[in-house]
Structure 1
Amino acid sequence: MKNIVIGSGPAGRLGSLELGKLGEEVLLIEKNHIAGTCLNEGCMVICALTDITKYIETNNRFNALGFVKSQLDISYEKITEKIIETQKKLRKLNQMENESVGNTIIYGEASVEGENVIVNGESFSYEKLLIATGARPFIPDIPGAEYGLTNKDILKIDSIPKKLVIIGGGIIACEIANIYAKLGSEVTILARSGFLKDINDSAINKYILENLIPEVKVYENVDVCKITKNSVITSTGEKFEGTAFFATGRVANSEIVKDVVELNPNGTIKVNEFMQTSEEHIYAAGDVTGGYQLTPVARKEGICATRNMAGYANKISYDDIPQALTLNLEVSFVEDKNIPENAEIVDIAIPGIAGPGIFWNILTGDTGMAKISFDANENKIKKIATISPSSGDDIAYLSYLMRENYDLDDYADFIEVHPSTDTNYKIIKNMWL
């Protein structure tokens, strides 16, 4: 076999699809379900559940305003049943897409032995190999950790927990907190250090806490020392009642090649800018390599790796990567990590504006916000964070303009779609151009 890809998450699935489009011979091996964590245990599950919480919040808002009178009866069991039903349909489509370019797909647990890959007792030799085995939830070495849930358990639990104690203070912790709080759980977050450090903006974090998840109790700089079936105990002896949920990061599934290629100290696979490992004919991409654990980045890495495998030189760049939180109002952000020392940074923030999905929030004032940082010397955007129904699309396009090094004056001809909730154009055009 000329090319073997192990793992069919965003990196492996898109990478093998790219190889097939290039006319390459491809064997794609998947241990469980095609499309990996994103569809089966991660972001797609979060998005599906957040659609429900948005509906609940909208119903509550309309009831409070007095022009709708309704009472919802939520079935968590039915929600998970329909999510699983949808996943099965998407898996079929993803498999058909890969097979449509001539790729062969095998399901089973693979092992790498020298120049061969073993799966289901059958041995396949390869010329080029891509490891795209992803990552799994990191479970801290804490007594009673076996009682804790992770994102892998969301579709397995029978009912909404009465009380949920989330261990971790990052994006996943915030998204899980929002879902279960809106579904009726009493939710507490225990962050080992600061809450939502990745956003790196106190104003945005404050808005999230006060307006998007006000019912969630957040404790920072907390160390958990023990977990029981119905509680979490901290190093100070404080006891929080509820089911524990780990949102403590992820660990690479790199064991398959730990004796074959060089690993980083944290166990991720070491790769160069071509996604090539210490063995020149073996490549790796996606969460198994560490770095940005984001679906779009994994896709980009998978395509980069397989183009190189096919002989088309391709490098990966991680400049100005946009990120988001899936909450009842989307929160998206991007930051230039290479700001000059002499930069004259100017921050401008304004409340969100009326538009699709936000009109009925005006009466209560929770319409979101936007904050943009400019370098006045270079006349360029260096950081953006925005909270609105359109924030994901807004930041995706604006981050592209940042990567392409556009000057603020280049925004002069920008025409927004109306009606829109995008506040960025208002800041850029009305206040700077």
Structure 2
Amino acid sequence: MKNIVIGSGPAGRLGSLELGKLGEEVLLIEKNHIAGTCLNEGCMVVCALTDVTKFIDTNNRFNNHGFLKSQIEISYDKIVSKIKETQELLRKLNQMENESFGNEILYGEASLEDGVVKVNNETFEYENLLVATGARPFIPDVKGSEYGLTNKDILKLDEVPEKLNIIGGGIIACEIANIYSTLGSEVNILARSTFLKSLSAETKRYVLEKIIPNINIYENTDIEEVFKDKVLTANGEELEGTAFFATGRTPNSEIVEGIVELNNDKTIKVDEMMRTDVENIYAAGDVTGGYQLTPVARMEGITAARNMAGYGNKVSYSCIPQTLSLNTEVSFVKNEKSTCPDEDKATIAMPGIGGPSAFWNILTGDTGYTEVEFDKKNNKINKINSISPSSVSDVAYLSYLMRMDYDLDDYAEFLEIHPSTDTNYKIIKTMWL
């Protein structure tokens, strides 16, 4: 076999698709379900549940405005059932898509021995190998950690937990908190350091006050012990409820341990062409660390595939857009390569404009918030934080312009789609140029 790809998550699936498009022979090996964590345990599950919570949130707002009277009855087990039904359909589509390019898909657990791949008692030689085995939830070394849930358990729950203690302070912690708080749980977030440290102070304030106001936040809080129905903090406080770990991820790199060079955190060490220190072995996605985001994994998988097929390609990590999937999306991007000193920075912020999915929020002042930081000397955008129903597409588009190193003057011909990108348009074109 010319090319073998191990793992069919975003990196492996897109890498094998790219190889197929380039006319390469491909064997894609998957241990469990095609499409990896994203579809089966991660992003898509969060998005599905957040679609439900957005509906609940909108219903509550309309009831409060007085022009709609309705009461929602939630059936969590039916939500889970329909998510699983949808996953089955998407798995079939993903498999059909990959096979349509002539790729062979084999289900089973792979191992590497003496330069060959072994799976289901079969042995396969390869010219090039792409390891895209992803990552799994990291469970901290805390007494009683076996009682804690992770994202892998969301679709195993029979009902919404009455009380939930989410351990972690990042994006996943916030998204899970929003979901179960809206569904009726009493939620605490226990962050070892600062909660949502990727956001600006004002953006974080808006999230806490307007989007997740009913969630209790404990910052600089360590966990001493986890029990079946409570957690004990390091300062002796007992908090009732089920524990949920959102404490990061650890790479599934055991398959290549002792074969390729690993980083100190056990992620696979790769260069900008996604090559390991072994000439014909590549790696991509969460198993390599860095940005553990589906679009980044796709980009890395495609980059690896092109190099495996002999088309020189390098990956770039500048201006990576990110989002929190909440009842109102929170999206952000920064130019990591910016060397702008503080004296050359200027920040302009304003409330969101009431457009699609935000018009009725004007009555309560919850239309959103956008903040843009500029480099005055070099006439560039340094950073964007945006809260609005359209922020996901807005920030993705603007991150591309940042990545292409456009000057602010180049935005003069930007034509917004009304009413979605109005806030960015107003800040960048009207207030700055």
Structure 1 residue ranges without an equivalent (≥5): none
Secondary structure, aligned partner of 1:262? coil
Whether the aligned pair in 2 keeps the contact of 1:135 and 1:253 (CA below 8 Å) is yes
What is the CA distance between 1:272 and its match in structure 2?
0.5
Runs of 4+ displaced beyond 6 Å: none
Tell me which residue corresponds to 1:52. 52
Corresponding position of 2:120: 120
2-structure distance, mates of 1:378, 1:259: 47
In structure 2, do the counterparts of structure 1 residues 421 and 400 end up closer, same or farther at CA, with 3 Å as the change threshold? closer
Partner of 2:91: 91
Q: Which digits, 9 at most, give the CA deviation of each residue in 1:214-262, with x for residues without a partner?
A: 0000000001010000001011111110000000000000000001100
Q: Is the 8 A contact 1:416 1:425 kept in 2?
A: yes
- Contact 1:358–1:421 (CA under 8 A) maintained in structure 2: no
Residues 394 and 421 in structure 2, CA contact (< 8 A), matched pair in contact too: no
RMSD: 0.8
Shift of 1:337: 1.2
TM-score, structure 2 normalization:
0.99
TM-aligned CA deviation for residue 95 of structure 1: 0.2
Distance 1:381 1:190, change over 3 A: same
Query: Aligned partner of 2:302: which letter?
Result: I
One-letter identity of the residue aligned with 2:267? T
CA distance in 1, matches of 2:208, 2:373: 22
Once residues 389 and 346 of structure 1 are traced to their aligned partners in structure 2, the CA distance between those partners, rounded to angstroms, is: 25
How far residue 419 of structure 1 moved from its aligned partner, in angstroms, is: 2.4
Which residue number in structure 2 is paired with residue 214 of structure 1? 213
Equivalences for 1:179-328 in 2 at 5 Å?
179-199=179-199, 201-328=200-327
Contact 1:162 1:242 in 2 (8 A): yes
Contact 1:388/1:422, CA 8 A, preserved across alignment: no
The separation in 2 between residues aligned to 1:278 and 1:340, in whole angstroms, is 31
The 2-side partners of 1:283 and 1:185 are apart by: 43
Q: Which runs of 5+ in 2 are unaligned?
A: none
2:420 alignment counterpart? 420
Q: Is the 8 A contact 1:352 1:387 kept in 2?
A: yes
Amino acid corresponding to residue 325 of structure 1 in structure 2: L
% identical aligned pairs: 70
Whether 2:23 is the aligned partner of 1:23: answer yes
Deviation at 1:342, TM superposition (A): 3.9
On the 8 A contact 1:355/1:421 being kept in 2, the answer is no
- Note the alpha carbon deviations across 1:131-178, whole angstroms, 9 max, x for none: 000000000111110100000000001000000000000000000000
Aligned-pair CA distance for 1:414:
1.0
- The structure-2 alpha-carbon separation of the partners of 1:342 and 1:166, relative to structure 1 and needing over 3 Å to count, comes to closer
Structure 1 counterpart of 2:74 = 74
**3-state DSSP of counterpart to 1:154:** helix
Specify the code of the residue in structure 2 equivalent to 1:173.
Answer: A
Deviation at 1:340, TM superposition (A): 2.0
Deviation of 1:339 (Å)? 2.1
CA positional deviation for 1:421: 5.3
Kindly indicate whether residue 172 of structure 2 is the aligned counterpart of residue 176 of structure 1: no
Structure 1: which amino acid aligns with 2:309? A
Structure 1: how far apart are the matches of 2:337 and 2:15? 29
Does structure 1 conserve the Cα–Cα contact (< 8 Å) formed by 2:356 and 2:389? yes
Structure 2 residue 357 is matched with structure 1 residue 357: yes
Aligned residues: 432
- Tell me the residue number matched to 2:384: 384
Determine the C-alpha separation between the residues in 1 that align with 2:354 and 2:58. Answer: 16
> Could you say what secondary structure the match of 2:354 adopts?
coil
Query: In the TM superposition, what is the alpha-carbon distance from 1:341 to its structure 2 partner?
Result: 4.6
Partner residue in 2 for 1:5: 5
Distance in 2, Cα, partners of 1:29 & 1:285: 15
Contact 1:319 1:403 in 2 (8 A): yes
Partner SS state of residue 431, structure 2: helix
C-alpha contact 1:5 1:27 (8 A) present in aligned 2 = yes
CA distance in 1, matches of 2:339, 2:108: 49
CA distance in 2 between counterparts of 1:430 and 1:114 reads 63
What is the CA–CA distance in structure 2 between the aligned matches of 1:370 and 1:307, rounded to whole Å?
Answer: 38
Letter aligned with residue 313 of structure 1: G
Q: Give TM-score scaled by structure 1 length.
A: 0.99
Alignment of 1:396-415 (within 5 A): 396-415=396-415
1:429 positional shift:
1.1
